[in-house]
């Protein structure tokens, strides 16, 4: 019997794992649906599923920790199709309700199960087929490729043709490894580093100088999570924009994705406190159908800044966005390794954590039940439908991110914004989306818009106790003093803002320690462990005086720290472990983080995310946040 094949994660799989790893990661289920007429038999559908599963290894892949402590993809051999047959006849609304119920059932990312196939009969006499699997395996572009290929196989079998007739060559996730692990992959990552680093060096440290809580706090109600601020979702559904933007795209010769991003930049320039920090991470997916077909989720990430004049029109902003996208595409690399590691390094060099919350993802096809609808029809009467805007709030994990998803669905354009509610100040997400829609609906020629569609928006002011230091560093002085006072051996700390002689401001810290041998240089190095504190900046000048108290002893060891050391030392260079240092500064790599998290889970500990591991916080502090499972 054929054995499983185990190979390392691709960069895309690493990003997918990190993106979907968390307390509810076993419930991030993606679904696909097919509907067949009554002349298609159950046997034909089952054979089509067997064929498409044999073509694409992603549908036979789970993940596990390898002998070296790294996560690896485990590719299972082709076997019989495990198809669930439902005896009930389903109406359309019953199928939708079935899907809603099924996606709530957990799927373990490491153990499987493999994709779940379910077949039933519709009340019109035909068949429907459902696929449920973890989002780690399948993205939107891969889902579109899978839907098309399975339907083509069914058509081939129904007409007596070979099952694979007319199908593109399948490309599997492990096929990406040769390019990623060799010299070509390293050259791509180096290009991405050279392109990304100047953007990070020149940007302001944060577009939102204010207290934004990323970690949720337990509420008084059992089982609920809340914190300062809420996460919110604003969605715009527009039939008119679906056709309007495609017409502009033809006229301007600029992709719809760049037109929307340019418009969004114009809108946000009216809102964000510091637009000099508007650096975007743009997601794309190497999966999909082309000369070759890949259904595995293979995200590609590029970093860019859009140069849009403050009072610019949509045409100039779209051109600026397209120029920035072209430049960044030449330097994009698979996965999140380059943005994460470069942001970490530049933050330590500048002495302030860089906050880059802006994420953009344009998807040209819808998923799930919408796959059957014709996409080639012209707008007709549907284009006169009014835009629809919906806003939802969630009392959990607000997160420090501003994510925009644009989906080109059959007959409609959907723009979704996920963000922390405090980022908008007095503006509502409805105002933001309405202004964006009005801007995109504007005249289709270059030149200034006669009536300002953004007039309703108000700029969000920096929080009163935040100041901008020279070098584009935002600081909350009181947070710096409190953070310094929390360091081992420091009795008292205070801060003072001083002029630098060029019209800028610098930060002076005065600290009193229990150890008179402490010097500003060693203290400044310890400050790097505080960079994740909101509003913290490594002081430009540190004045150290010794105190009268005897020095404290070293912090006691703990079971959590011992467990963390056991797992992490496998991912670090030999002898690099130091409880007062952090993971990336100790030589750890992003690729090993999933294995670290799984190792902690297997040893009975939880409480850390991949962002915790990749933070500036020392291991001793991470251990204090861990808890027994």
Q: Positive or negative CA dihedral for 583, 587, 593, 599? A: negative
The helix/strand/coil state of 319 is helix
Report cis status (omega within 30 of 0) of the bond before 113.
yes
The angle at the Cα of 497, spanning 493 to 500, to the nearest 5 degrees, equals: 130
**Mean pLDDT rounded to a whole number for the chain:** 84
Measured between alpha carbons, how far is 455 from 449 in angstroms, rounded to an integer?
Answer: 12
**What was the pLDDT predicted at 10?**
85
Beta bridge partners of 392: 233
Measured between alpha carbons, how far is 534 from 531 in angstroms, rounded to an integer?
Answer: 8
**What was the pLDDT predicted at 373?**
36
Cβ neighbours of residue 203 under 8 Å, at least 6 residues apart?
276, 277, 279, 305, 354, 356, 472
Average pLDDT over residues 277-304: 80
User: 507, 622, 512: which is closest to 568 by C-alpha?
Assistant: 622
**What was the pLDDT predicted at 110?**
63
Q: What is the DSSP letter of 444?
A: S
Measured between alpha carbons, how far is 606 from 124 in angstroms, rounded to an integer?
Answer: 49
pLDDT at residue 395 tops 90: no
Cβ neighbours of residue 242 under 8 Å, at least 6 residues apart?
379, 383, 408, 409, 411, 412, 413
- Percent of the residues in the chain that have a pLDDT greater than 90, as a whole number: 47
452-463 confidence digits (pLDDT tens): 888 899 999 999
List the single range of 19-33, 394-408, 529-543 with lowest mean pLDDT: 19-33
Give the confidence band of 222 by pLDDT, cuts at 50, 70, 90: very low
pLDDT at residue 551 tops 70: no
User: 131, 145, 129: which is closest to 43 by C-alpha?
Assistant: 129
Quote the tokens at residue 84: 């669930």
Measured between alpha carbons, how far is 51 from 429 in angstroms, rounded to an integer?
Answer: 46
The helix/strand/coil state of 541 is strand
Give the confidence band of 444 by pLDDT, cuts at 50, 70, 90: very low
**What was the pLDDT predicted at 5?**
85
pLDDT at residue 416 tops 90: yes
**What was the pLDDT predicted at 554?**
52
The helix/strand/coil state of 265 is helix
pLDDT at residue 546 tops 70: yes
Report cis status (omega within 30 of 0) of the bond before 183.
no
Measured between alpha carbons, how far is 408 from 242 in angstroms, rounded to an integer?
Answer: 7
40-77 confidence digits (pLDDT tens): 999 999 999 999 999 998 888 888 888 887 888 888 88
Residues in the chain: 629
CA 300 to chain centre: 11
φ/ψ of 473, rounded to 5, equals: -105, 120
- The DSSP annotation for 43-71 comes to HHHHHHHHHHHHH-GGGGEEEEE-TTS-E
493-518 confidence digits (pLDDT tens): 999 999 987 888 999 999 988 865 56
Average pLDDT over residues 527-543: 93
**What was the pLDDT predicted at 216?**
44
User: 338, 339, 310, 305: which is closest to 323 by C-alpha?
Assistant: 305
pLDDT at residue 450 tops 70: no
pLDDT at residue 365 tops 80: no
User: 400, 402, 346, 352: which is closest to 200 by C-alpha?
Assistant: 346
Give the confidence band of 255 by pLDDT, cuts at 50, 70, 90: very high
The helix/strand/coil state of 198 is helix
**What was the pLDDT predicted at 19?**
73
Q: Positive or negative CA dihedral for 154, 158, 160, 166? A: negative
pLDDT at residue 381 tops 70: no
Average pLDDT over residues 396-420: 84
- Whether the model clears a pTM of 0.75, i.e. scores above it, the answer is yes
Give the confidence band of 26 by pLDDT, cuts at 50, 70, 90: low
Which domains does the chain show, CATH number per domain? 5-178 (3.30.559.10), 183-440 (3.30.559.30), 467-546 (3.30.300.30), 559-628 (1.10.1200)
Average pLDDT over residues 19-27: 59
φ/ψ of 10, rounded to 5, equals: -80, 165
The helix/strand/coil state of 126 is coil
Give the confidence band of 22 by pLDDT, cuts at 50, 70, 90: low
Give the confidence band of 379 by pLDDT, cuts at 50, 70, 90: low
């Amino acid at each position: 019997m054929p054995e499983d094949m185990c190979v390392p994660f691709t960069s895309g799989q690493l990003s997918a794992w990190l993106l979907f790893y968390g307390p509810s990661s076993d419930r991030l289920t993606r679904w696909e649906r097919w509907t067949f007429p009554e002349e298609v038999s159950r046997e034909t559908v089952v054979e089509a599923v067997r064929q498409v599963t044999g073509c694409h290894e992603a549908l036979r892949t789970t993940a596990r920790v390898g002998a070296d402590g790294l996560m690896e993809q485990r590719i299972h051999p082709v076997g019989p199709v495990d198809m669930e047959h439902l005896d009930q006849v389903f109406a359309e609304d019953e199928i939708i309700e079935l899907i809603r119920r099924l996606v709530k059932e957990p799927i373990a990312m490491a153990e499987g199960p493999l994709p779940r196939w379910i077949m039933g009969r519709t009340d019109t006499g035909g068949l429907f087929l459902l696929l449920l699997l973890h989002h780690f395996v399948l993205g939107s572009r891969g889902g579109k490729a899978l839907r098309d290929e399975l339907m083509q196989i069914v058509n081939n079998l129904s007409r007596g043709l070979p099952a694979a007739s007319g199908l593109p060559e399948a490309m599997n996730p492990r096929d990406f490894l040769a390019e990623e692990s060799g010299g070509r992959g390293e050259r791509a990552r180096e290009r991405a580093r050279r392109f990304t680093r100047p953007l990070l060096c020149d940007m302001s440290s944060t577009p939102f100088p204010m207290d934004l809580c990323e970690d949720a706090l337990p509420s008084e109600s059992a089982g609920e999570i809340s914190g300062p601020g809420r996460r919110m979702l604003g969605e715009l559904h527009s039939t008119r924009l679906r056709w309007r933007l495609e017409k502009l795209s033809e006229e301007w010769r600029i992709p719809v994705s760049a037109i929307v991003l340019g418009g969004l930049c114009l809108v946000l320039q009216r809102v964000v406190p510091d637009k000099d920090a508007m650096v975007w991470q743009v997601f794309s997916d190497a999966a999909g159908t082309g000369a070759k077909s890949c259904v595995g989720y293979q995200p590609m990430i590029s970093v860019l800044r859009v140069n849009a004049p403050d009072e610019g029109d949509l045409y100039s902003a779209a051109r600026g966005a397209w120029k920035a996208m072209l430049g960044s595409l030449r330097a994009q690399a698979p996965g999140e390794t380059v943005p994460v590691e470069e942001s970490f390094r530049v933050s330590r060099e500048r002495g302030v954590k860089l906050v880059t919350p802006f994420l953009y993802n344009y998807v040209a096809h819808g998923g799930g039940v919408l796959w059957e609808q014709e996409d080639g029809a012209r707008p007709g009467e549907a284009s006169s439908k009014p835009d629809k805007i919906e806003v939802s709030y969630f009392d959990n994990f607000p997160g420090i991110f501003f994510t925009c998803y644009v989906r080109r669905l059959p007959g409609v354009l959907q723009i979704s914004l996920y963000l922390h509610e405090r980022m908008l100040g007095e503006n509502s997400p409805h105002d933001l989306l309405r202004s964006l829609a009005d801007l995109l609906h504007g005249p289709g020629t270059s030149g200034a818009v006669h009536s300002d569609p953004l007039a309703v928006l108000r700029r969000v002011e920096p929080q009163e106790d935040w100041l901008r230091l020279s070098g584009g560093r935002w600081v909350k002085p009181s947070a710096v003093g409190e953070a310094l006072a929390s360091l081992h051996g420091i009795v008292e700390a205070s801060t003072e803002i001083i002029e630098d002689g060029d019209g800028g401001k610098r930060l002076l810290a005065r600290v009193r320690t229990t150890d008179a041998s402490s010097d500003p240089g060693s203290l400044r190095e310890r400050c790097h462990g505080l960079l994740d504190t909101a509003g913290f900046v490594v002081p430009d000048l540190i004045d150290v005086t010794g105190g009268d108290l005897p020095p404290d002893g070293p912090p006691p060891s703990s079971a959590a720290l011992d467990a963390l050391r056991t797992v992490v030392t496998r991912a670090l260079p030999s002898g690099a472990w130091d409880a007062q240092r952090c993971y990336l500064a100790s030589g750890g790599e992003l690729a090993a983080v999933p294995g670290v998290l799984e190792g902690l889970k297997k040893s009975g500990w939880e409480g850390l995310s991949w962002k915790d591991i990749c933070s500036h916080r020392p291991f001793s502090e991470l251990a204090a946040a861990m808890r027994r499972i």
